Structure 1
Amino acid sequence: MNPWRDQALIGRQVEAGRLGELIDAVRSGESRVLVLQGEAGIGKSALLEQAATSATGFRVLRAVGVESEMELTFAALHQLCLPLLDRLGGLAEPRRHALETAFRMRAGAPPDPFLIGLAVLDLFSGASERTPLLCVVDDSQWLDQGSAQVLGFVARRLLAESTGLILGTRPPGGPHLRGLPELEIGGLGSDDARTLLAAVTHARLDRHISDRIVAETRGNPLALIELTRGLSSTRMAGGLGLLSTGPLSGRIEDSFLSRVRELPAPARRLLLVAAAEPTGDPDLVRRAAGLLGLTLGQPGTEDLLSIGAEVRFRHPLVRSAVYRAASSDERRAAHRALAEVTDSHTAPERRAWHRAAAAAGPDEDVAGELERSAEHAQSRGGVAAAAAFLQRAVALSADPARRAERVIAAAETTLHAGDFEAVSRLLRSLDSRQLAGLQRGRATLVEGHLAYALGHGSRTASAILLRAAEQFAALDPQGARETAVHAWLLAGGVVNRDELVALSRSILDILPPGGDGLVDLILDGSALVVTEGRAAAAPILTKVTETMLAMPDTELLRWGRLAPIGPYCSWNFEALRALANRQVELLREAGALHHIPENLINLGVALLRFGDFAEAAAAVEEGDLITTVIGSRPLPPYVALQLYALRGQEPQTVELVTDTLQQATATEFGTALVGARLAAAILYNGLARHAEALRYAREAEENWNPWLSAWVLPETIEAASRAGDAAAAHDALDQLLEATAPFDSDFPAGLQARARALLADDADADALYREAIERLGRTRMRPDLARAHLLYGEWLRRHQRRLDARGQLRIAYDMFVSIGMEAFAARTRRELMATGETVRKRTTEAANSGELTAQELQIARLVGAGLSNPEVGARLFLSPRTVEWHLRKIFDKLSISSRRELRDVKLSG
């Protein structure tokens, strides 16, 4: 170990103790994660080295973030996982393929970063089965985006794998580290700082001098070592001779910079080649140095650079100081040499990057190579790297036409990478007069998506996208229709009815109806629903559902986001469940986590209609888990809102309705406003507080939505009829008839009959109630069927037909209890008691699962449904060992001993 590292560990007993606890916990079978955060030179690297050295009996994996390697896809992850690649054969095929594609070991479709994360999690879990594993990652602030995202994902899913992950970073760290256990590394205390100072100065210092130096360096170990190097006691007494108001890291780097500038030219050039080569490959450095007439081991470099099995600088600040000290011509020469010795087949992206850094001005040949490198990066899932390559290609473009094309391509890719400021700069650099037809549409399309991403509002973004569709219309009709669909979807949940009608008419003017493709059908059907009504759109939207159900998997993955439109409009919840279920499974297998939560919402909505509350709750939990794991923006809680309401849980419903209304009002998100008020209307109808239910139902009408608003109508009719507002009830019934009549299936017909019965004359009501029960009884819509029995029973009791009423009410009561609709069950129980029947209050029987954590409850449900540990792990992004660890705790809490027993347990929650 280097002497300066031994010295830097003076006064680190507390930090070393934390690291020792982590090592002991991992050795005993736990997983632990710790982020060491502190300024440059504070001693993070020395602590990481000590942790690695003290982990006797461990397998230790290392990676270091390198600033110049931040644009190279999965570079740090490959560095960390390289010793484990012989275990790839043991991974499940989709995960193995994802990791092999990311590491350029095979060709394939761009893998989702989270599928790569699952593969790495499995790799770590397998490697730690017999020997504890310690992963040490230094300079995490310089990890490439792909590696950072994957390691952040893995860090949050480790639990029982005998794996430790320690990451060193400068503040403020990055989003991938947010929320992880953290240890702040500060400066040494005064006594320890003086001890270190005395060890490195070799001169006796007066107390007031050493105190001044300690204060000047704020106890930073590297500053104490470096800023006093070569200074006489006289200069120290004068205040170090280095007083500065600049950042301490900058002053340390300046100290290294001074030392570098004093070196002979050959030594500086060797250091520069090593600094410009990010992989630490000594063979590449040796061969590049040879091209420049240099040999390794130049005098003067030994205290700053070591070249053995790998090339390592004494500190990252040395690397940056070396690069700063060089002239632009010297840097280009170093990169040119490195490009010459970098294999174009095995490392094309790195070679292109070196060639770009070596370019003195515009160079079409290099720009073209950067474009090809961008394609390679994207094929491996490296969107951020692809964006960086394309941005550099723009800078090196000599031909104006090629430059415009590259700017648009760079803007498109950079948008996907999430660097919105860079997208804005690229768009501003475009000269619209030089854009050809399709280029203008593509640029406007990026502008529209950027406006939405920057929070400028869906109205603004939708208007820009509609303009892009108009620009595409003549040259790319299919692209125009796809863009118009996005414009409509953005507006559909936000704008009011009049605005949506105007938008839909504009779409139909730009792109007249016609065509049998899915996008054609969706666009035409959506626009016609708004402009002409459901009767006109029904045949098209029915065909949309049929087309989606018959789609091959690859096409469904591409267009799945549009799948709910047909089923939502046509009340076809069987189709909705089938499509959502299939998409969730396909997305899980592909590791495309970003799109799973929205499909889980669709699945949860269908499950609620079927009365499968436990499965709906599991869908909510999985969606929340994925949103947390990937750090995406939470979606409106549509399923949770209705679940609480249908269960009759007033406090939870009211709280969530209030929060949703506040957020949706702030963002003008009309769909969420309707969804929240629909839940409130269901809740208060269940509680028989019909005036309150009617108030929320009426408020929902103010934010008319082409899909959800129709679902509010049955609640409006029931609430208004019970609250004595006949006009409101009849108006809602007219709307419901318009919404259900075009669809000849039992569910909409049953809803229609039930609603008509509520407002019918006595002569007709009995037959309508019976029709509703018969129709709904042929569906899986148990909550709606139970409500039909309840309403019929209430009608029979009011008409003094007590025996008949009891029969209907008993059926309703048993159904509500079995489903878990407690408020409706209580309302039914009161009705039964009013008929003179004694009814024992019952609640849904469930195991005492209150002691289970949310994750344990998820695992218990999935295992109870028959899933294996690997299948549960895949669903919840855990290793099978972690699932087994949880299962032991679940069995203990539920006082059972086998998976078979768990299948018989009815779990609440």
Structure 2
Amino acid sequence: MDGGLVGRVAEVAALDELRAAAARGSGSVALLTGEAGVGKTAVVEEAVARATGMTVLTGRASPDEGAPAFWPWLRLLESDVDGLTPSLLALADAGEAAARARFRAIGDVVRALRSAATRAPLLLVLEDLHWADPSSLALLSALARELSGSRILVLATSRTGLDLPDATVLPLGPWDVAAVATYLDRLAGPPVHGTWAPVVHRLGGGNPLYTRELGRLLVREGRLTGPAGDIDLPEGLRLLVARRTAQLSPACRELLGVAAALGAEIDTAVVSGPAIVSSPAIVSGPAIAEAVEAGVLVDDPWAPSRLRFAHELVRQACYAGLSRDDRIAIHARLADALTASGAGPFEIARHRVRAAAGPASRRSAAEACVAAARHATATLDHGEAVRWLTRALEHEPSASLRLERAGAAYRDGQLDLAVADGEAILDEVGAPAALVIRGLGGLGGSLAPRLVRLCERALALDLDEAGRAQVLAQYAFLIAEMHDGPRAEPISRAAMALAERSGHPGALVAAIHARHEVIDPIRDVGEVLELARRGVELAGPGGRPDAELWSRTWRLDAWLCVGDLAEYDAECARLAELVDRLGWPVARWHLLRARAVRQQLAGRFAEAAAIATEARDLAARAQDMSAGLLLTAFQGGLSLLTGENRHWPEDLAAVSARFPGVPIGVAQLGRVAMEMGDRALAAEKVTELRGLLPRLPVDGRRPFIVITAGEVAAWVGDVDLAAECYRLALPYAGRHLNSMTACYGAVDRPLGVIAAAVGAPDALRHLADAVEMEQRLGSAPFVALSQLAYARSLRATDHRRARALAGRALATARRLGMPKVAAEAAELAGDDLLTAREREIAGLVAAGLSNKAIAQRLVLSERTVESHVRNILGKLSLTGRAELRGSSQYQH
């Protein structure tokens, strides 16, 4: 016998304290960490042995590819405790999205465990979490957050640290020489010669597993009583285990080979089945008992039908000891047995792959891998689908499988792989190879040109009408995204005509998408909504869930444009449902962008910035090179309200060199220069824009470019260009320059500013309309911005009204944290003329208090209050306190 736990006194004492606290109702998580073989399980076993009065439930993560989600928890929940059952983690709820199902199941398990702990304290043992799947770790994190006030102690083991901020982490290091000496004494009984402990410590590195194997070897050889000498130490654990298992019966060795091939966790019914092994001793059980008695396999007292190797390294050593032919044969038999038993597709595929040695077995491996990939796709695990399809292609290459992998790679955000697959199989599969990546704008880098070349190669093939329409539509979309609208527009019309003639739903969807890219989304907002309606209707029949995604994002932009936040919020909810259903990173990216805009419009600027950054990070992981540029554009709209421009680089001239002749880039830089007060650079951008405007294509960028060019031109004093931009932008009156890319508010505000600069008669009407539009929209930040612009224009002609508008803008700006707007509004409102005491009294007058009430509240004489009120009215050019009463400017 090994003689019990060696060392680890501090760890055991810490676990005793945590266990006692849990029994009193103060639950927690303890995490034992350390390298393989360091003795984590031994500490767990000691803690379990000392857990008197607690119900112990155990689960263990598996390194096997076939292990399903929540595997350690499924094992742990196999108990006779009322309310605890693996069915709590069933995710196949009809109609429920995968993400929502996982969230529900996690909540159900946490509640069930807390409820069970009210009847008897629980010790939950979760071992080998370095192999745990993300869902299992998410469940552990969720439970950890709910342990306060519960009678639950979670004891977890992992070779690596886990993200559990409140866990008590107990790192286990190797044994020192004294601990090795203690272990050898307990193992062999005295006297053990004192020279052995340093030798064994040096050879085993203090690793308890290696120390145990060395100690047992020396005991069997009877060498520990004499002085230490050379040990014919094999290289690594494999040969140590080989020596140890050589003394076992042939039936036991066969069992260990099968068990090693099966995996880290061993189902006795599988490894001892007559279809798997040849020896009756295995089927009847003696071989299993022999392996357990020898310490190679470990019995789980809480689950007698399951065994495990004493250590994963032991399993690897046993597996490495199998001959090539034996390994292949065992995996083939295991695959057949698991298939007959209805095991999961991942587990079957793992064994089929390892049994693939000839044409027939390679075919079987490919089929099993495809089944695993399609199962992964059904559960929205697109990365896993790519992995299994790659394995399938290794065994049976085919164009159709590569096309399937390209689709999975696209859904998982592995765009390079998706494009490469399309390029390789285009000549074999035709149009579908050019259509794998659809509707993902702003690809940047080398991907967009590669997709264009794919389309050009496809169009040179003999395609049917529907296929040609789809490729033409893809071609038009990509060309428009590469800023060549004039070239894209006729191609999009040709694609639409072909699609209408074919009547093919997929072709119509593609043509609709291409058409959307070459229209002005503000001027033609009605057409945008109609295209979106058709896209959603066609998504199902066309087998194009991406069509619904793009259509819903178009609707979101359209509702922002017309200023209907009720419809916008409803569409956001529909988009969230679609994201849950698809599980695509790109879909979640759009949802995050939509939510960031909503926060901005509500005046929650920090939240908006955080969500926009999260969206950028998600898109960047999915290889969308537009992510950074779109975040910068969003921050540009945000800075208009907050005055915060730290996201802009200091050297704007250097940035300018990166966008030579790109209208959207030139316009954006002109706006940045204006916001930062750089008139020289702004004037330079205005000069560039003057040459670009006549050639400006009709597309989604046009409104921003025209309006921005007019604002910047007005600011630098270029009246001629400002007047031309005013003429071009006038059809946008009554709309909002808001989208999920960036929000700049009602178009009538910049129209009013430009009109005032060029002497157009409708400047004040535009600004009044802008205030009314923002109020109707319900966006307080943009209401304040429009009020300020209106006040600025009224200052020379209607000073009193200008002050009132500026005062309202000031109150909003201070409440929401808009310092730049607040500073200018304060100057216009005359607020800076009041002392602190006067502002205080002005606020009380505005709230409706009488002079006597104010005097009582501030402990002043009524005469002093009257004097202050007179000064306030004089400074603000007001005729009486009635004009001050009810004003929100001072109620802050």
TM over 0.5: yes
- Note the residue ranges of structure 1 that are not aligned, 5 or more in a row: 245-250, 846-909
> Taking structure 1 as reference, are residues 222 and 667 closer, same or farther at Cα in structure 2, changes over 3 Å only?
farther
Q: 1:786 aligns with which of 784, 787, 795?
A: 784
Tell me which residue corresponds to 1:379: 378
Residue from 209, 212, 223 that aligns with 1:222: 209
Q: How far off its partner does 1:828 sit?
A: 1.2
Q: 1:625 to 1:789 in 2, by over 3 A?
A: closer
Letter in 2 for 1:797: R
The 5 A counterparts of 1:200-599 are 200-202=187-189, 204=191, 207=194, 209-231=196-218, 232-233=223-224, 237-242=228-233, 251-278=236-263, 279-288=265-274, 292-295=278-281, 296-298=285-287, 300-301=290-291, 302-303=293-294, 304-306=296-298, 308-342=304-338, 344=340, 346-347=342-343, 349=345, 350-351=347-348, 353-355=350-352, 357-363=354-360, 364=363, 367-381=366-380, 383=382, 386-387=385-386, 389-397=388-396, 403-410=398-405, 412-413=407-408, 436-438=428-430, 441-442=432-433, 458-469=444-455, 497=483, 515=500, 540-546=527-533, 559-565=548-554, 567-568=556-557, 571-574=561-564, 577-578=568-569, 580-583=571-574, 585-586=576-577, 592=583, 594=585, 595-596=587-588, 598-599=590-591
The residue number in structure 1 matching 2:126 is: 137
1:184/1:64 Cα in 2 relative to 1: closer, same or farther (>3 Å)? same
Moved more, 622-631 or 54-63: 622-631
C-alpha distance in 2 between matches for 1:53 and 1:660: 67
* Counterpart Cα distance in 2 of 1:238 and 1:377: 55
Residue of 608, 613, 625 corresponding to 2:603: 613
Corresponding position: 1:758 with 2:745: no
1:136 partner SS: strand
Distance 1:522 1:28 in 2: 63
Q: Distance in 2 between matches of 1:67 and 1:513?
A: 53
What SS does the corresponding residue of 2:824 show, helix, strand or coil? helix
Local SS of the residue matching 2:232:
coil
Gaps of 5+ in 2: 739-743, 844-892
Output the CA distance in 2 between the equivalents of 1:193 and 1:784.
73
DSSP 3-state at the match of 1:287: coil
**Alpha carbons of 1:315 and 1:483: their partners in 2 closer, same or farther (altered >3 Å)?**
farther
2:359 counterpart SS class: coil
Inter-CA distance 141–747: structure 2 relative to 1 (3 Å threshold): closer
Where 2:446 maps in the other structure, the secondary structure is helix
SS at match of 1:67: coil
1:645 to 639, 644, 647: 639
Q: TM-score, normalised by structure 1?
A: 0.70
- Which stretch of the first structure deviates more once superposed, 754-763 or 211-220? 754-763
CA RMSD of aligned residues (A): 5.6
Query: In the alignment, which residue of structure 1 is the partner of 2:185?
Result: 198
Residue matched to 1:603? 595
SS at match of 2:272: helix
Tell me, yes or no, if the aligned pair for 1:736 and 1:752 is still in contact at 8 Å: no
Query: Cα distance 1:413–1:527, how it changes in 2: closer, same or farther (>3 A)?
Result: closer
Shift of 1:155: 1.9
Secondary structure of 1:137's partner?
A: strand
Name the TM-score, length of structure 2 as normaliser. Answer: 0.71
Task: After TM superposition, give the deviation of residue 13 of structure 1 in Å.
Answer: 2.6
| 1:109-131 deviation digits (Å, cap 9, x = unpaired) | 79535741552243123321340
- The answer to whether the Cα contact below 8 Å between 1:112 and 1:591 also exists between their aligned partners in 2 is no
Q: Please say if residues 38 and 170 of structure 1, whose CA atoms lie closer than 8 Å, have aligned partners that are also in contact.
A: yes
Amino acid at match of 1:241: D
Q: Aligned-pair distance for 1:335?
A: 3.5
The answer as to whether partners of 1:306 and 1:313 remain within 8 angstroms in 2 is yes
Distance in 2 (CA, whole Å) between partners of 1:661 and 1:205 is 77
Count of aligned pairs: 790
**Residue in structure 1 matched with residue 850 of structure 2 by the alignment:** none
Distance 1:227-1:591 versus aligned 2 partners, 3 A rule? farther
Measured against aligned partners, the alpha-carbon deviations of 1:29-58 in whole angstroms (never above 9, x if no partner) come to 566455543222111222333444445555
Q: Secondary structure at 1:68's aligned position in 2? A: coil
Map 1:645-724 to 2 at 5 A. 645=639, 648=642, 653-657=644-648, 707=700, 710-711=703-704, 717=710, 721-722=714-715, 724=717
Deviation of 1:693 (Å): 11
Post-superposition Cα deviations, 1:53-105, rounded to whole Å, max 9, x if no partner, equal: 445555544332333345656544533444499859999xxxx7xx424xxxx
Map residues 100-119 of structure 1 onto 2, 5 A cutoff: 100-101=90-91, 106=92, 112=98, 115-119=101-105
2:123/2:153 contact within 8 Å kept:
yes
Instruction: Choose the corresponding residue for 2:801, options 801, 804, 823.
Output: 804
Structure 1 Cα separation of the partners of residues 76 and 553 of structure 2: 42
**Alignment partners' CA distance in 1, 2:27 and 2:617:** 20
State the one-letter code of the partner of 2:830. M
Query: Once the 2 structures are TM-superposed, how far is the Cα of residue 221 of structure 1 from its aligned partner?
Result: 0.9
Contact 2:349/2:368 (8 A) holds in 1: yes
Amino acid corresponding to residue 252 of structure 1 in structure 2 = L
Contact preservation (8 Å) 2:722, 2:754: no
AA at the equivalent of 1:578: D
Identity of aligned residues (%): 20
1:50-61 equivalences under 5 Å are 50-61=46-57
Amino acid at match of 2:112: G
Query: Quick one: higher RCO (CA 8 Å, sep 6+), 1 or 2?
Result: 1
CA shift in 2, pair 1:368/1:179, >3 Å: farther
**For the Cα contact (< 8 Å) 1:38–1:44, is it kept in 2?**
yes
The 3 A distance-change label for structure 1 pair 476 and 785 is farther
Cα 1:127/1:529, change in 2 over 3 Å = closer
Please report how far the alpha carbon of residue 526 of structure 1 lies from its aligned counterpart in structure 2 after TM superposition. 6.8
2-structure distance, mates of 1:62, 1:384: 30
Any idea what the Cα deviations from partners look like across 1:844-863, whole Å, max 9, x if unmatched?
Answer: x9xxxxxxxxxxxxxxxxxx
Q: Distance in 2 between matches of 1:841 and 1:475?
A: 76
Q: Which stretch of the first structure deviates more once superposed, 364-373 or 514-523? A: 514-523
| Structure 1 pair 837–202 and aligned structure 2 pair: CA distance change class (3 A) | closer
Residue 160 of structure 1 deviates from its aligned partner by 2.4
Q: Is the 8 A contact 1:675 1:708 kept in 2?
A: no
Q: Secondary structure at the match of 2:273?
A: helix
Match of 1:45 among 18, 22, 41: 41
